[in-house]
Chains A and B, each alone.
Chain A
Amino acid sequence: MPEKFVVGYDGSPAGRRALDFAVSNAKAQGAGLVIAHVLEWSPYSFLTKEEVEERHVRRKEELQRAEKHVISPVREKLDATGLEIETVIRYGHSAEMLLSIAKDAGATQIIVGRDGNGGLAARMFGSTAGSLVQITTLPCTIVP
Chain B
Amino acid sequence: MTTRFLAVLAAFLLCAVPASAQDGGGGLDATINQIFADYTSWYVALIFADLPGTNFSWIALWLVVAALIFTGYFGFIQVKGFLHSIRLVKGDYSDPNDAGEVSHFQALATALSGTVGLGNIAGVAVAVGIGGPGATFWMIIAGLFGMATKFTECTLGVKYRNEYPDGTVSGGPMYYMTKGFKERGLPAGPIMAVLFCIFTILGALGGGNMFQANQAHAQLAGVLGDYPGWITGVALAVVTFAVIAGGLKSIARVTEKIVPFMGVFYVIVSIIILIVNYDEILWAFGQIFQGAFTGLGVAGGFTGALIQGFRRAAFSNEAGIGSAAIAHSAVRTKEPVTEGYVALLEPFIDTVVICTMTALVIVITGVLNVDPETGLYVWNAEAGRISTEGEVQGVELTSAAYARVLPWFPALLAIAVVLFAFSTMLSWSYYGLKAWTYIFGEGKVKELIFKTIFCLFIIIGAAASLGPVIDFSDAMLFSMAVVNVIALYFLMPIVRGELDDYVRRLRSGEIKKFS
| Contact status B106-A46, CB under 8 Å | yes
**Shortest beta-carbon distance from A107 to chain B in Å:** 17
Digitize B247-284: 1 where CB-to-A-CB distance is under 8 Å, 0 elsewhere: 00100110011011000000000000000000000000
**How far is B114's CA from A71's CA once the two chains are assembled, in angstroms?**
39
- Cα distance A57–B430 in the bound complex, in angstroms: 19
Interface band, chain B: 20 to 34
Flag whether A53 is at the interface (Cβ < 8 A): yes
Q: How many residues of A contact B (CB 8 A)?
A: 25
Set of chain B residues within 8 Å of A51, measured between Cβ atoms: 253
Taking a contact as CB atoms under 8 Å apart, the answer to whether A43 and B94 are in contact is yes
As a 0/1 sequence over residues 389 to 430 of chain B, the CB contacts with chain A under 8 angstroms (1 = contact) are 000000000000000000000000000000000000011001
Evaluate contact between B109 and A49: CB separation under 8 angstroms. Answer: no
Taking the complex as formed, is A62 at the interface, i.e. its CB lies under 8 A from any CB of chain B?
Answer: yes
Q: List A contacts of B169 (CB < 8 A).
A: 53, 56
Binary flags per residue of A50-64, CB closer than 8 Å to B gives 1, else 0: 111111110110110
A46 and B109 within 8 A (CB): yes
Task: Check B253–A49 contact: CB distance below 8 A.
Answer: no
Q: Are A41 and B99 in contact (CB under 8 A)?
A: yes
* B168 in the interface (beta carbon within 8 A): yes
Residues of A within 8 A of B497 (CB): none
Chain A nearest CB from B150 CB (Å) reads: 17
Q: Are A92 and B99 in contact (CB under 8 A)?
A: yes
B128 at the A interface (CB under 8 A): no
CB-CB under 8 A from A56, the residues of chain B are: 101-102, 167-169, 332
Which partner residue on chain A sits nearest B167 by CB separation?
A57
- The yes or no answer to A45 lying at the interface (CB within 8 A) is yes
1/0 per residue, CB under 8 A from B, across A7-36: the answer is 000000000000000000000000000000
Whole-angstrom distance between the alpha carbons of A52 and B105 in the complex? 12
With A and B bound together, what is the CA distance between A32 and B252 in angstroms? 46
Known: A39-B100, A44-B103, A56-B101. A49 touches B167 (CB 8 A): no
Give the Cβ gap from A104 to chain B, nearest Cβ, in Å: 10
Given contacts A49-B430, A52-B330, A52-B331, contact A62 B100 (CB under 8 A): yes
Which residues in chain B, 162-196, are within 8 Å of chain A measured between CB atoms? 166-169
Contacts of B327 in A (CB 8 A): 49, 52
From known contacts A43-B106, A46-B110, A46-B257, infer whether A55 and B332 are also in contact, taking CB-CB under 8 Å.
yes
Q: A7 vs B168: C-alpha distance in the bound complex, in angstroms? A: 34
| Cα–Cα distance between A79 and B443 once the two chains are bound (Å) | 48
Give the CA-CA distance A39 to B241 in the complex, in Å.
Answer: 33
How far is B278's CA from A2's CA once the two chains are assembled, in angstroms? 66
Identify the interface centre among B100, B110, B168, B252: most chain A CB within 10 Å of its CB: B100
Given contacts A52-B330, A60-B167, contact A47 B106 (CB under 8 A): yes
Q: Complex formed: what's the CA distance from A47 to B91 in Å?
A: 17
Instruction: Tell me whether B372 is interfacial, beta carbon within 8 Å.
Output: no
A-B Cβ contacts below 8 A, count:
77
User: When the two chains form the complex, which single residue of B99, B252, B430 contacts A91, counting CB atoms closer than 8 Å?
Assistant: B99
Which A residues touch B249, using CB under 8 A? 48, 50
* A90 CB within 8 Å of chain B: yes
User: A52 near B166 (CB under 8 angstroms)?
Assistant: no
Query: Is residue B47 within 8 Å, beta carbon to beta carbon, of the partner chain?
Result: no
CB neighbours of B168 from chain A (8 A): 53-54, 56-57
Q: Shortest Cβ distance from B141 into chain A, in angstroms?
A: 30
For A57, list chain B residues within 8 Å (CB): 166-168
A47 touching B100 in the complex, CB below 8 Å, given contacts A52-B330, A53-B169: no
Chain B residues whose C-beta falls within 8 Å of the C-beta of A91 in the assembled complex: 99-100
Whether A52 contacts B100 by the Cβ 8 Å rule is no
Q: Is B509 interfacial (CB-CB < 8 Å)?
A: no
- When distances are taken between beta carbons in the complex, the residues of chain A under 8 Å from B25 are none
CB distance from A96 to the nearest CB of B (A): 11
Residues of B within 8 A of A62 (CB): 100
> Which residues from chain B contact A43 at a C-beta distance below 8 Å?
91, 94, 99, 103, 105-106
Known: A50-B430, A53-B168. Contact between A44 and B256, CB under 8 A? no
Q: Would you give the shortest CB distance from A99 to chain B, in whole angstroms?
A: 13
B52 contacts A by Cβ under 8 Å: no
CB distance from A110 to the nearest CB of B (A): 18
Residues of chain B at the chain A interface (Cβ within 8 Å): 91, 94, 96, 99-103, 105-107, 109-110, 113-114, 166-169, 249, 252-253, 256-257, 259-260, 327, 330-332, 426-427, 430
List 3 A-B pairs, minimum CB-CB distance, nearest first: A43-B103, A91-B100, A91-B99
Q: List 27 A-B contacts (CB under 8 A).
A: A39-B100, A43-B94, A43-B103, A43-B105, A43-B106, A44-B106, A46-B106, A46-B109, A46-B110, A46-B113, A46-B260, A47-B102, A47-B109, A47-B256, A48-B426, A49-B110, A50-B249, A50-B430, A52-B330, A52-B331, A53-B169, A53-B330, A55-B102, A56-B102, A57-B166, A59-B100, A90-B99
> 11 extra interchain contacts, Cβ-Cβ under 8 A, other than A39-B100, A43-B91, A52-B107?
A41-B100, A47-B109, A48-B252, A48-B256, A48-B426, A49-B114, A51-B253, A52-B110, A53-B169, A56-B168, A56-B169
